[in-house]
Structure 1
Amino acid sequence: MAPLVPALLFLTVGLQAVCSFNLETINPKSFAQDPESQFGYRVTQVNGKQKWMLVSSPLMKDSNQNQTGAIYQCKYGDSTCSKINTPFPAGAKNMGLSLATGVSNGEPKILACVPRFSYECYTNTYISGYCDVMSTSLSSRERIPAKLPECPRVLIDIAFLIDGSGSVSGGDFTRMKQFIKAIMQKFRNKDTQIALAQFSNHPQTEFTFTRYNQASNKEYLVDNIQQIRSGTRTPTGMKYVV
């Protein structure tokens, strides 16, 4: 009979690393704000002389009920949170949806982003985003990109042609003049210039772009127009303006 040979059996188990965090169970600190603002959506600890952390509240509303979002500095020592004063341009929404800390050029930094920044250019609405890079003392701030997008300057030329023939009643002619003045009000502070011509049996210029730009009282240019009250030659008037 063959002798028994003692042997050792080694079992190896593959262990997979997991991410974890610690919870204080003896003296926990509790920070509370408006739950509807999603306070606590992002939380990041800041290393420094004092123990504190940043807490985001991306659905926080300002005094005008705009959903700008907010970031709070919460201190462990006294369990208080104070809102960080962050200037928001018009159209900024949901500050704090992205929140992180890191090191840049050897110094600890805080990164807080606005993922939705909408701005209107005439009839179009554009959506972009930006980030604020802050020091841990919250004293310095850098915006990325440094300059927010602006609407390109667009020059608009508007030329009106109104029917001043005898077939148009005085009331309708007055309503046409009121409509033109309303358009002037709409584009008063924009890069727009307006000219106007009237036609009947012949066309005539009431005021040009140059005269419109030089006039101190632009509405008076329209008020001063007198109806020709003659025949109706619409094609002639259209060719004249074009």
Structure 2
Amino acid sequence: MKTEALHKTLEEAHWNSVGSVRPLSVNPVVRAFRRMAVLRSLHLVVLWAAVSYSMAFNIDVAGPKIYTGSGPGYKSLHFQSGTEKGSVFRVPLQRNGNGGVFICDDTNPDCKSVPLPSAAEANSKERAKQKVDLVFLFDGSMSMNDEDFVKSKEFIKTIMKSMSNTSIQFAAVQFSKVSRTVFTFKDYQDNKAFKKLDDEEHMKSLTHTHGAMHYALNNLFDESESGRHPDATKVVVIITDGNPSDPARVKVNGTSKNIVEIYEDRHIMRFVIGVCIEYLFQLSVWFTQ
């Protein structure tokens, strides 16, 4: 009875505080249902808290792995992938100070080290650079005056000097009515290229550019004694003052083929530079920069 009187007193105080019209009477059955609703809400809150706690990560402090040294650089991340979950740790003091990564989970007492790729030494075989075989085909026709011819050779030397410490090797061919090897890839490797280029004399005849392309293919790119690299990217730089005076079709094993199409089929890159003293000087400055 005391409990019933207490409920009535609290209910009376509630209705007085909100200033609302009080119900004339409250059925005991209705009051019981109200109490059950409150208990049910409390039960759901407790259940949700328990489920949330069970889904959380737990930190096991028993037998931790301790790393000595400065703290900056250490990092941990939690992960979950499908049925797997655990923690990933970055440890900068591992592997002679190069850092290490470990994966830990609750199914295995030992953390697993994740193999990481390492950078190769600058001069090691692992650091292989893409090799390039580049051939200069420079015009020696009679339409080229002596000043233009000398400037073409100076342009070639400027490019070779600016790229001397790269994976590019050079060869050169002067072409007119016929073509002539000025220096091979092997000459460049043996430091003979600059001297041979300086000694090269002006041919002063026709402009057989297509024939020069065919000549470079047979005598430099496909000739092992030239010092070429079989797996290198092949590039041709043509320095000329005008259009070719010979046909594009050449004889290949007794069959007439277009030399430009042959270059395209073999993925040989081609660059053409029109001869102009001022333009070659600007290109030389650009390459040195």
**What interval of TM-score do these two structures reach, taking the shorter chain for normalisation?**
0.3 to 0.5
TM (norm. structure 1) is 0.45
Structure with the larger RCO, 1 or 2 (CA within 8 Å, 6+ apart): 2
Structure with the larger helix share: 2
More strand by share: 1
**Higher CA-based Rg:** 2
